[in-house]
Structure 1
Amino acid sequence: MKTRMIATAFALAGTAASAQDLARSLPGAVDAVAPALAAYSAEDLFASVWNDEALPMRDRALVTFAALVTRHEADALGRHAELALDAGVTPAELSETITHLAFYTGWGNATAAAEAMAPVYESRGVTAEDLPAPDPDLLPLDEEAEAAREDTVQTNFAHVSPGVVETTRELLFNDLWLRPDLAPRDRSMVTVAALIAAGQPEQMTFHLNRAMDNGLTQEEAGAMLSHLAFYAGWPRVFSAMPVARQVFESRAN
């Protein structure tokens, strides 16, 4: 019964995954231990939330992947990586998401994610040629925006930790954020998703504004919050909601 419900739910959502793949997305033990959870998953999360057109399926898969990396949920990464690849996220984009999130969620989380992903890439024949180069040609730097960001950080924190200020400038904003294998909108989107999943809404104002400057719409940002409630929990999303409201209101003025 559970397998049939999940297969129907994802068929409605329009993914390319098979019924067998979808059954694996919810471990069989869930139905045996918490049948109500299995029902909520199939009927509400998979059939409804994942099918909401306010955020494309491909983006939902990428946001979910970012949340799982952030929360160190390596056991679930493989099956969600398969879903993301079937939904149109490329191997290079997933690889670059892991690299990016090392800086925002910690090296251990990213390393565990890479280890969990290795069998997926092997099974799909993904090779080094399909993945981002260590030193690609970088995207152009928005010098005005970077100067404003640098001035704020220098003013507030140069006397606290010059090392953090320097590596933030040189490694993050003059390098990582300019890598071309994850579009600026997507890079911002996974950063915001990681901040929500980590329960760090105080960091969201800058990054949500940056995401919207990079093309994320208010409707998409709101849908991302709704989606992440299932993967990060309602308390963390409600902690992020006031920040999102302030960003939306400030941009409307």
Structure 2
Amino acid sequence: MSNQKFISTTPTFDDIQAVAPALKDFTKDDLLGKVWGKKELSPRDRSIITLAAVITRNLQAELPPMLVLAIENGVKFAEISEIITHLAFYAGWGNAMSAILPTKKIFEKYQVDTALLPKSDDELLPIDENAEAQRAEFVEEAFGCTSAGVVKNTTDYLFRNLWLRSALAPRDRSLVTVAALIAAGQVAQIPYHLNRALDNGLTQVQASEVLTHLAFYAGWPNIFSSLTVFKEVFANRKK
């Protein structure tokens, strides 16, 4: 909320005070004053998951200040670009496209060199062929007869391309994905991606804090729907 100069439609604290004084206090004192300062996640991690949630939920008023805060918290321009690209696949093309013009305005204010942003032919990270073969076999057996096109595109576009793009570290890409699934209420998809996030270096304490943080951006009902899934994943990993 501190970067009001970037877009006129973003409410100021005075605007919020004029409509919902209690919400202004909750926002200033609790969300920004306490939650964002908790040590379980770094400010950079908090910015990554907040951007993912804001874009997934198409929260236009929140996007510009969250973009500026992400930049201040060390999220690189190339990483912001790649977050939007990644979310096109996990939150839908429309939500990603809705983020383009607000982000373009912020990039222009920072004079971002677009030649340095990730391209479609950027270098890919090495793939774990055994793990990918197991994933592909499972999906083929489960859904190949239902939609061969979805199964093929999942392999070709997601797991042999998007997930290997080097513009986002695997842990960051997992953070974006898990945050998007929580924000969209897609609890059935969380177990695979939460396990992947933990395999990619996210700790259980950090994963738990993702829920705490996103309660304010995705709403408590989405968090409580996710809690059972997180609990099961944590328990299964201890076995």
User: Which residue in the other structure is 1:112 paired with?
Assistant: 98
Q: Is the 8 A contact 1:101 1:110 kept in 2?
A: yes
Residue 50 of structure 2 corresponds to residue 64 of structure 1: yes
Q: Are the aligned partners of 1:96 and 1:181 in contact in 2 as well (CA < 8 Å)?
A: yes
Alpha-carbon distance between aligned partners in 1 of 2:134 and 2:11, rounded to the nearest angstrom = 46
Residue equivalent to 1:95: 81
- TM, length-normalised to structure 2: 0.95
RMSD (Å) for aligned C-alpha atoms:
1.6
Deviation of 1:30 after TM superposition, in Å, equals 1.0
Point out 4+ residue stretches in structure 1 off by more than 6 angstroms.
Answer: 17-21
Q: Distance in 1 between matches of 2:137 and 2:189?
A: 17
In 2, the alpha carbon distance for the partners of 1:111 and 1:175 equals 20
Correspondence for 2:36 among 50, 65, 88: 50
Q: Percent identity, aligned pairs only?
A: 49
Note if contact 1:71-1:197 (Cα within 8 Å) is conserved in structure 2.
yes
Separation in 2, partners of 1:99, 1:113 = 10
Partner AA of 2:238 in structure 1? A
Deviation at 1:18, TM superposition (A): 7.5
Shift of 1:96: 0.2
Instruction: Determine the C-alpha separation between the residues in 1 that align with 2:158 and 2:214.
Output: 25
Partner deviation per Cα, 1:115-143 (whole Å, 9 max, x = no partner): 11000000001022231122111000111
The amino acid of 2:147's aligned partner reads: S
Quick one: which of 163, 173, 196 aligns to 2:159? Answer: 173
Q: The residue matched to 1:180 in structure 2 has which SS?
A: coil
Does 2:112 correspond to 1:126?
A: yes
Tell me how far apart the structure 2 counterparts of residues 31 and 235 of structure 1 sit (CA, whole Å). 26
Q: Distance in 2 between matches of 1:215 and 1:91?
A: 23
Question: In the alignment, does 2:189 pair up with 1:203?
Answer: yes
| Residue 222 of structure 2 corresponds to residue 248 of structure 1 | no
Between the aligned partners of 1:199 and 1:19, the Cα distance in structure 2 is 30
The counterpart of 1:144, out of the listed 115, 130, 140, is 130
Output aligned runs, 1:150-189, within 5 Å. 150-189=136-175
Task: Tell me, in whole angstroms, the C-alpha distance in 1 between the residues paired with 2:3 and 2:89.
Answer: 35
Is the 2:3–2:68 contact (alpha carbons within 8 Å) kept by the matching residues of 1?
no
Task: Name which of structure 1's ranges 205-214 and 40-49 shifts more when overlaid on structure 2.
Answer: 40-49
Any unmatched runs of 5+ in structure 2?
Answer: none
| 2:195 counterpart letter in structure 1 | N
Aligned pair partner of 2:208 in 217, 222, 231 = 222
- Find the aligned partners of 2:11 and 2:85 in 1 and give their Cα distance: 27
Residue-pair matches, total: 236
Q: Quick one: structure 1 residues 25 and 216, their matched pair in 2 at CA, closer, same or farther if it must change by over 3 Å?
A: farther
Q: 1:18 to 1:79 in 2, by over 3 A?
A: closer
Task: Provide the secondary structure at the position in 2 that maps to 1:95.
Answer: helix
Q: Give the corresponding residue for 2:71.
A: 85
Deviations 1:193-244 (A, max 9, x none): 0000001111000000000000000000000100000000000000000000
Spell out, residue by residue over 1:19-66, the C-alpha distance to the aligned partner (whole angstroms, 9 max, x if none).
Answer: 988xx9753321111010000111111111100000000100111000
Q: Which has the higher contact order (CA 8 A, sep 6+)?
A: 2
Structure 1 alignment gaps of length 5 or more: 1-5, 7-16
